[in-house]
Amino acid sequence: MIKIENLEKVYKTEEIETTALNGINLHVKEGEFVSIMGPSGCGKSTLLNVMGLLDKPESGSYKFLETELLKLNDRERSNFRKRNMGFVFQNFNLIDELTVFENIELPLIYNKIPSAERKKLVNEIIERMNIVNRSGHFPQQLSGGQQQRVAVARALVTKPKLVLADEPTGNLDSAHGNEVMELLCELNETGTTIVMVTHSSHDASFSNRIINLKDGHVISEKINKGKTEELI
Amino acid sequence: MFKLNLKIAFRNLFKNKVYAAINIGGLAIGLTAFILLLLFINHESDYDKWDPELSKIYQIREKHDFFTPDNKQYWQEAVESRIGALTREKIPQFKHVTKVDRIWGNGFSVKIANADPIMVTDFRDADSAFFKVFPYQFVQGDQLTALNEPNTMVLKKKMAVRLFGTDKVVGKEVKVVMWRNDKGRSFKITGVVQEPSTPESVDINAIMHTGDRDKDPESISNSNYCSVYGLAGNILDTTAMNKTLQRIYVDYKKSSFTQRKITYDDYYKNGKVPGLKLVPLQETHANPPFVNGWLQKIKPVIALSIFLLLVSVINFVNLATAQSVQRAKEVGVKKVLGSYRKQLVNQFLFESAIQSLLALFISIVLVELCLPSFNAHFDVTLSFWHSNQLIGIALQLIGVFVVVTLLAGLYPAVVLSNYNPVSVLKGNYERGFKGLALRNGLVVVQFIIAVTFMISIGVMHLQTSYVANKDLGFDRSKLINIQTNYEDDFANRIKKIPGVQYVATTTQVMGNTFNVPEEITYNNQVYNVNTVTVSMDALSALGVQVVSGRIFSSEYGQDTVNTVVLNQAAANLMGKNLVGKQYDIISEKEKYTFQIVGIIKDYHNEGFDKTVIPTVYKANDLGGTSNTNNLLIRFNTSNYQDIVKKIEAEWKRLYPDFPMQYVTVEDAFQKELESSRRLMQMVVLFSIISVILSLLGLFALATFLAKRKTKEIAIRKILGASDFQIINMLNRSFLILVLFANITSWPIAYILTRKWLEGFAYRIDMPFLPFLAATVLSVVVAVFTITLQARKAAISNPVDSLKYE
Ligand SMILES: Nc1ncnc2c1ncn2[C@@H]1O[C@H](COP(=O)(O)OP(=O)(O)O)[C@@H](O)[C@H]1O
Ligand SMILES: [Mg+2]
């Protein structure tokens, strides 16, 4: 589904130039669950942001179902993103002024889903995430694990083809982290493609394939046998 | 989307109640001042708009130097009455021309049957064409024929109701007594007209048709002055018309001079020139003959309200951008979820629209609350809800609303929507955040305005108190002016009342001045001076100060014939050792010689914006020129209310048909100071508000800064910084701004206040104190405000804020 070739991303600040991505090649199949690992500062988040069309690389190619995404203008990028992608972040990034329900509803609004259907979809996912009795709460009133579940719910509610998760368990204790990982697995089982950045090999063990980055390069790739066989 | 954004907007307002209150409240105050100003401008520009025909009416103005404050030539509304016939004859574009008498005295007394006399104003004598020119709506009577007969009168509806209790008054009789011993004249009411829907520059409560205005004085050397208005068939090209008028006028003057045996060159010398022109009626209100038009007068007020609005808008922009740190995550998330930039800009514009709308509502309430005192203060009758221009005002308000929303909202909206989602989502909310320079710039602008205001208050206060305490050159206390002519019988009667020290008359006293220019020849040199005619006691009654020689006294019989007293200004003009010297007045036929018996200190009879002009005082046994309407009474006690009552009783016995009117000279003096005092009060009010707003803005900004630096403060404290050092750190960045603003506002305030001071002929030197005081005050208050906020951040437990991060 995703074909990334020779992706390069350079950050220029006043003092220095940082090559965050240095010729990345990466293919992701539909329905795959890919983990990206590597030391801090090696370009994981940058790669994810480029994949999520939040950042523009200097050169290379990024094809998504045969569409070249790097040629899109800002508006087309926004449109593509809101229709096809969902995001989960380490620090949840819920909007504090909106309730749980409203936070989850937001992407549907941007996708111009009619109100009645929005209600239905949000309620469905709230039920699935086990946060029904929290739907009227504000993010500040929830625990970290609950917040992350809301964030996952928000990423899933539009039924995206691709979910991008940047250290989704980074701010959670192991119990809550596991809950979130199980959610992602369930999601993957229903066919959603997932690309996840993580520092934890435990989390990575849930995925089909682990990609190791260093200094903006892919240095190794490892198939997670148990998982992959399951998939087959 | 809309609903959700509305929710976000209100939840944010609620979360930041204090700042929201400062924002909205500040904007509301700024808007209130602005709306009041708008109402005022609407009112003033609404003069003579009550009928479309009025745009075709033209007022004739003649250039001459009679009835002027300084004996110079002005384009005046009072034109020679023969100009009426002249324009009717020579200007075919005019369908009708009417002549209206000038306003005399302080009103007339109206008697209906045997009822008590009632004082009325604006009863004006016009010729029979008045209602052919002015399209008043007749509710009773007939427009075309109402004034056909002499001694007819048409009343405005309100006046009819006031006098008779009804507007059905056609056929009734009223007697008008125009001065105290006028035997009165009866008029038959032939019509009642509707009150026009907009103000009128030709003030009338009634039009009297005595018949006198239908004709001109028989002898060519007598002339009569009145206003002349012409109704044209269509709108005229004034430039072309004025050329024609000027030509006609010069021809007319020449032929009249020939009949009067004066030469043209003799009459128009020393820079005097003939002049006749027309002014569209609808422009007359904005262009009064002597003083500045209303637009000129309120220019400082316009500037003040715009500044005030600016200060509140700046607050808004500053707080909104400072607050935007809090909104960064929302922007980042929304962008990730697929929001377009434009949607975000719209959202934030919408938020500022909500706030300006709230501010607008509050300001409308405030306007309603302020209007009565505003009206009283500025002597106007503005209304908001009852205004017949409500639709126009509403449209203007929508305009103001849109402008304020864009002004206040656009920049924060752009800043916010520009957040880079990638940095924001890294948890780095500060990264994508720019515009600190602009915000600092705005704080500086605010403080420049506030400090300039404060300096101006100081300078204006010093000048006003200088003027208020300035020696006028005469004693204004215990002195009243009965607005009537001197008459021996009456004067002798009141002289007998105990407590009355002097009874006198003069053509020149504060509040009512009638200047007569004269050329005198002294030592073969010609001087232009002003002549004031006084009764023997007048200078004593005024309490003027003698510099040398003496003032008039009945001991010297010749005083009424050929002696004069000079004021210091005239003496300075003519040279030294003048007492005892003589000067001449030379006319074609004769030469009169006057002896100078004394010199007095200049005394003021007009505002301090005008210099005392060189004046010669002549004594006249009969009490001066007959129509100056000044009867001065000096008491020897300041407790003179009872004496005034006795004088009134005496008056009533003599002149039962005309109520007595008087002013104290103290009041007349206060009235002279009125306009500069009003401006001063406005400046004080606006300054206080803008200073408070600026400080509130600074306060809120400091709060945000402290909040943003919570982590930095905590770390510094853990590393051993004292509270004082922390407070110092926060203060420093703002102090530099405030100091910079001060330095900038000094020259600005200097230029502005000097310009204002130059409007006074008598003024203080530019004082230094207000500059110093404003700077010290602004710095102290700013430090106090910031410290208040910084202290809170400094004394908090650093562990709490770090844990929270
Ligand atoms: N906005 C930025 N400006 C400059 N350099 C950046 C920026 N974002 C990331 N970098 C640099 O790019 C490199 C990769 O960063 P990132 O992708 O965030 O690493 P990580 O693998 O820890 O997620 C790092 O060296 C980082 O310093
Ligand atoms: Mg990272």
DSSP of B455-521, one letter per residue? HHHHHHHHHHHHHHHS--SS--TTEEEESS---HHHHHHHHTSTTEEEEE-BSEETTEE--EEEEEE
E strands along A52-161, which residues? 59-64, 67-68, 85-89
Domains of chain A: 2-231 (3.40.50.300)
Q: Could you tell me whether strands B563-567 and B591-600 are parallel, antiparallel, or unpaired per DSSP bridges?
A: parallel
Ligand closest to A41 (CA) is: 1
Reference B527, options B579, B585, B601, B582; nearest CA is: B585
Statement: residue B13 has pLDDT above 60: yes
Residues 6+ apart with CB under 8 A from B5: B347, B350, B351
The answer to whether residue A111 neighbours chain B at the CB level (below 8 Å) is: yes
Instruction: State the Cα–Cα distance between residues A92 and B427, nearest whole angstrom.
Output: 10
Band (B622; pLDDT cuts 50, 70, 90): low
Instruction: Give the mean model confidence (pLDDT) for residues B445-450.
Output: 86
Statement: residue B805 has pLDDT above 60: no
ipTM: 0.85
CB atoms within 10 A of CB B653: 10
B728 or B522, which is more confident:
B522
Instruction: State the Cα–Cα distance between residues B134 and B303, nearest whole angstrom.
Output: 36
What is the CA(A47)–ligand 1 centre distance, in A?
Answer: 10
Give residue B799's pLDDT.
60
Instruction: For residue B408, give the 3-state DSSP assignment.
Output: helix
Instruction: Give the range with max mean pLDDT: B59-63, B387-391, B519-523, B673-677.
Output: B59-63
Closest-CA residue, ligand 1 atom 25, reads A41
Do residues A209 and A34 lie in contact, with contact meaning Cβ atoms separated by under 8 Å?
A: yes
Give residue B431's pLDDT.
44
Domains in chain B: boundaries: 1-45+293-430, 52-285, 445-471+673-805, 484-660
Q: What is the pLDDT of residues B462-483, one digit of tens each?
A: 988 888 888 888 998 899 998 8
**Residue A40 CB less than 6 A away from ligand 1:** yes
Give residue B798's pLDDT.
60
Closest to A97 (Cβ–Cβ): which among B8, B335, B336? B8
Statement: residue B58 has pLDDT above 90: yes
A192 or B433, which is more confident:
A192
Statement: residue B399 has pLDDT above 80: yes
The answer to whether residue A95 neighbours chain B at the CB level (below 8 Å) is: yes
Residues 6+ apart with CB under 8 A from B89: none
Closest-CA residue, ligand 1 atom 1, reads B423
Do residues B373 and B678 lie in contact, with contact meaning Cβ atoms separated by under 8 Å?
A: no
Cβ pair A97:B15 closer than 8 A: yes
Distance from CA of A78 to the nearest CA of B (A): 5
What is the CA(B694)–ligand 1 centre distance, in A?
Answer: 41
Give residue B623's pLDDT.
44
Amino acid symbol at B668: A
Statement: residue B434 has pLDDT above 70: no
Amino acid symbol at B136: Y
Instruction: State the Cα–Cα distance between residues B674 and B693, nearest whole angstrom.
Output: 28
Chain A residues with CB-CB distance to B11 below 8 A:
97
**Residue for token digits 């103290």?**
B666
Closest-CA residue, ligand 1 atom 26, reads A41
Chain A residues with CB-CB distance to B341 below 8 A:
74
Give residue B801's pLDDT.
54
Instruction: Give the mean model confidence (pLDDT) for residues B18-24.
Output: 84
Give residue B621's pLDDT.
62
Residues from B in contact with A at Cβ < 8 Å: 1, 4, 7-8, 11-12, 15, 329-330, 332-341, 421-422, 425-427
Give residue B48's pLDDT.
92
Helix (H) or strand (E) segment spanning residue B245: helix B238-260
**Residue A73 CB less than 6 A away from ligand 1:** no
Task: Kindly state the DSSP code that residue A71 receives in the 8-state scheme.
Answer: G
Helix (H) or strand (E) segment spanning residue B713: helix B710-718
C-alpha to C-alpha distances, B519 to B337, B529, B530, B575, B598, nearest whole angstrom: 89, 6, 9, 16, 19
Band (A179; pLDDT cuts 50, 70, 90): confident
Instruction: For residue B685, give the 3-state DSSP assignment.
Output: helix
Give residue B804's pLDDT.
43
Share of chain B above pLDDT 70, in %: 95
Do residues B197 and B209 lie in contact, with contact meaning Cβ atoms separated by under 8 Å?
A: no
**Residue A48 CB less than 6 A away from ligand 1:** no
**Residue for token digits 């083809």?**
A161
Q: Quote the distance between the C-alpha of residue B92 and its chain's center.
A: 38
**Window from A176-185, B94-103, B699-708, B759-768 with minimum mean pLDDT:** B699-708
Instruction: Give the mean model confidence (pLDDT) for residues B10-15.
Output: 84
| Mean residue pLDDT across chain B | 85
Do residues B483 and B627 lie in contact, with contact meaning Cβ atoms separated by under 8 Å?
A: no
Do residues B470 and B609 lie in contact, with contact meaning Cβ atoms separated by under 8 Å?
A: no
E strands along B56-146, which residues? 57-64, 74-76, 79-80, 94-101, 108-111, 118-120, 123-125, 138-141
Chain A residues with CB-CB distance to B432 below 8 A:
none
Give the number of C-alpha atoms closer than 13 A to the C-alpha of residue B167, restricted to the C-beta side.
16
Q: What is the pLDDT of residues B33-51, one digit of tens each?
A: 888 888 888 888 888 999 9
What is the pTM assigned to this prediction?
0.76
Give residue A232's pLDDT.
41
